[in-house]
Amino acid sequence: MYLFQSLVDVSSVAYASISFSSYKQGELIVRFKDQKKISKSISDHRSSLIKKLKYLPIHHIKIPGGAQLQDILADYRKDPNVLYAEPNYIIRKSSIPNDTEFVRQWNLPVISAPSAWDLFTGSRMSESVLVAVLDTGIAYYHPDLVANLWTNPGEICGDGLDNDNNGIIDDCYGANFGGFTPGDPWDDDTADSHGTHVAGIIGAVGNNGLGITGVNWATRIMAVKFLHGPEGMGELIDALRGVEYAISKGAKIINMSFEVDEDSQSLRDAAKAVEDAGALMISAAGNTGKNLDEYSVFPASIRSSNNIAVAASSPSDGRPSYSDYGRHTVELAAPGGVSTGSPDGVLSTVWLGTNGSILYRTTAGTSMAVPHVTGAAALVWNKTPLLSALQVKARILNGVDHISAFADNTITGGRLNLDKTLNSLDLPAVFDVLPYQLNLNGGIITVKGVNFGTGPGAITLGNKNLTATSWTDTEISALIPQNSSGGIVLVNGRGNGFPLSIMQNITISSSTVSGVAPLTVELNATVQSDASILKYEWDFGDGVFRELQGVSSYATHTFDTADTYVVRVRTVDNAGDTGIGSITITVAPLTSTGNGSGCFIATAAYGSYLHPHVHLLRDFRDQQLLTNRIGQSFVRLYYRLSPPIAHFIAKHESLRIIFRAILTPFVFSLIYPLISILIVIIGCIAVIYGYYRRVVCKQVLRTDEAT
C-alpha cells in the first residue's frame, strides 16, 4: 500500500501507526460568481492566489499563516461572491492489502474496511490499545499473527521465573487459567482453533504478502485462555480470573466470543470491574436463534454501558438462522457467515492438522461477528486515543449501515461499517432505556448513553418532545405522556437512538368461554392503539404463538380435550410495538347428557375413527376459508348455525353415524389427496367411456346398419 511517496514510506505501512489529515492545511479551492470581484474577495479574506485553473473556473487559494482553516473556510462561504469553497482534500489510492487470501475475505469489503484503511490501518506501538481475547488461547507461532501478539513487558520469556510477581511464571503472550501451564495460553482447540480464528479477524498482520488481513493490520493482542480442548469447555471461575488478568495488564478491550445460559452475579461483577477500568467488553449474542428480549445469554445480556452485544450477518446482509438477536438487547450485527468450512463462512487464521499444516479456514457464528467489532473498537481508539470507552462505543453504534434484516432485531437496526465508525463524530448515542416497555399510561424512563451534553437539550420519542426531569452527559430521566405511541428515543436529534415499546391494550371476545369437548370457539381481538396492526399471533393454550394467514383479528379453534385453557393473542404494529391479551376457556368432558359443542362436525366425529383427523378440517378452514372474505363469511355463518345442530347430534348416536358417513369421503380426500385425484380421474374416464359406448358406438352401429 502507498498513497503518495512524499507522504509515506511504503515499507512502514503495516508496522507503524499511520494517520493522515483529510485535507491539506493552509489551502482552499474556491469558485467565485463575479469574475470582476475575485481580487477583492481574496483580499478581504487576507488570502492569496496560488493559481487559477486554465479551463475550469476554479481558484487555488492560500490562506494566511496561523489562521484556522475552518474559520477562513466559514468566512468564504458567507461571501456573497463565492459560489462554493472547500478544503484541498487529500485523495488517496484505495488501500487493498497484498495478502494472498484477501480476495476470499468477503467480510472486510462488506464493512467498508478498504476505505477505512485509507485513513488508518492500526498501531502496535507500546502505547496502543491492548486487546484481550478471552477464549481457547492463540497459536502464537502463527506466521500471520506473531508480529501482532502482545508480549508481557514484565516477563523475561523462558527463564522459568515469575518476573512480574503476579503468581504466573513466563506469562509472555498471556495466561492460561484452568490448564496445567498457567503461563502458556497456546490454543489446544483441535476442532476449529477458535481463539486463533478470533484473533486473526481482529488483527492478522496486514499487507505482509501472506494469508489474510485482520480488521487491524497492526495491533496488540493478548491471549487469555480459559476454554480448553476441542469442546471449548471452561469454568466460570477461570473466566473471572481471565477478566481480572486482562484488566491488571491494561487491556482496554476484552473480546468475549463465548456464551453462558445461566445468569451469574459474579460475571456481572466482572463486567462492572471492566467498566470501572474504563474498558470495553464485546460479547457474542449466541448461536441458538433466540430473541434475547425474551431469553438470556451471558455475557451478552448484561446491560452495562460498556458492553456491546453482537449478532451475526451473512454475505448478503441477512441474519443467519442460528444468530441470536434482540431489538432491545443486541446492539448491532457484524459478519459471522453462514456455515463453517464454506465460502460463506469467515476466513481467518487457525492452527489445525499436524504441526499447523492448516493455517486458514472459514468458520461461522456470532463468535466470528464479535472480533469484527473488537477490531473496529481498537482501530478507532488507536486513531483517537483520548476517547473514553463509552465514546468509542458511541462511534461504533453511530456508524452502522442500516440494514432491513436488522431493523427490528438490533438496537441500532444495522451492521458494522468500519469506515463510518472511523470517521464518526462524537454524537449522542443512547445505549439503554429503562424500562424499554411501557403501557398506555406512560411513565418515567431513564436514558443511558454518552455525549448528551451537560445542560438540558432535546429528548424525543418519535416526533414527540419529552420533558426531561434530570440531565447529565450520560444519563437522562424523562416523562412519557399517556397514550403515546412507541418509537425511537433520540437525544438532541442526532446519533443513535433506542427503541421504546408501548404495550397495546388488547381484549379478546369469544363466542363462548365454556362448554364440553370438543368445543369450538370463535375469537376476536380488539386493540387499543393509534398504530396499524401488522400481525396477529394466537396461542391456543399450549404456550406457542402462531401467525394465521392474513392480517385478521378473527380466529377459531376447537379444543378436543377437557381442560382450562388460557388463550392469548400477540400483536405487532407498524411502530414495532407489541401487546398481549388473554381470555380463559373452560372445556368439560363430554357426557351422555352433554349439550355438545359449537361445532357439529367435531361433535359428530368425536370418539370415532374420524376424531384423529378433525384437525385436517380445521387446517382447511384456517388455510383456505379464513384467507378470503367469502370463506370468512361462510365460517361465521357456520358457527352461528352450528351450536343447536351440535346439541341435537350429541343426544342421537344414529345422527352421529349418518354425519360420519357424509364426512368420510371429504376427510379421505384430505388425508390421501393423490389417491382422491386418481379416483376422480378414473371416474371421469369411466363417465366419458360410458358416454362413448352409449352415443358414439350406437351411432356407428346405426351407420353400419344403414350401409
pLDDT along the chain (707 residues), means of 10: 26 28 79 91 92 88 86 91 86 73 96 93 90 97 97 93 95 94 95 96 96 96 94 91 96 95 90 96 95 93 96 97 96 97 96 94 97 98 96 97 94 97 94 91 94 93 93 96 89 94 85 83 82 84 80 83 87 76 83 50 67 68 70 73 72 74 72 67 71 61 47
Could you say which architecture CATH assigns to the domain 102-423? 3-Layer(aba) Sandwich (3.40)
505-671 and 429-502 share a CATH fold:
yes
Rounded-to-integer distance, Cα 284 and Cα 194, Å: 13
Rounded-to-integer distance, Cα 43 and Cα 608, Å: 102
Q: Which three cell numbers stand for residue 125?
A: 506501538
From residue 167, give the alpha-carbon distance in Å to each of 163, 178, 281, 695: 9, 14, 25, 105
Q: In the chain, helix, strand, coil percent, each to 5? A: 30, 25, 45
* DSSP-derived secondary structure letter, 532: P
Rounded-to-integer distance, Cα 143 and Cα 616, Å: 62
> What count of Cα atoms within 13 Å lies in the side-chain half-sphere of residue 407?
7
Could you say which architecture CATH assigns to the domain 19-89? 2-Layer Sandwich (3.30)
Predicted confidence at residue 90, as pLDDT, reads 66
CATH topology of domain 505-671: Immunoglobulin-like (2.60.40)
Q: Right CATH number for 429-502 from 3.40.1160.10, 3.40.605.10, 2.60.40.10, 2.70.70.10?
A: 2.60.40.10
**Residue 198: phi, psi to the nearest 5?**
-60, -45
Domain ranges of the chain: 19-89, 102-423, 429-502, 505-671
* Residue located via cell numbers 472480533: 371
Dihedral over Cα of 159, 163, 165, 168: its sign? negative
Predicted confidence at residue 575, as pLDDT, reads 67
Strands 443-450 and 82-89, by their bridges, are unpaired
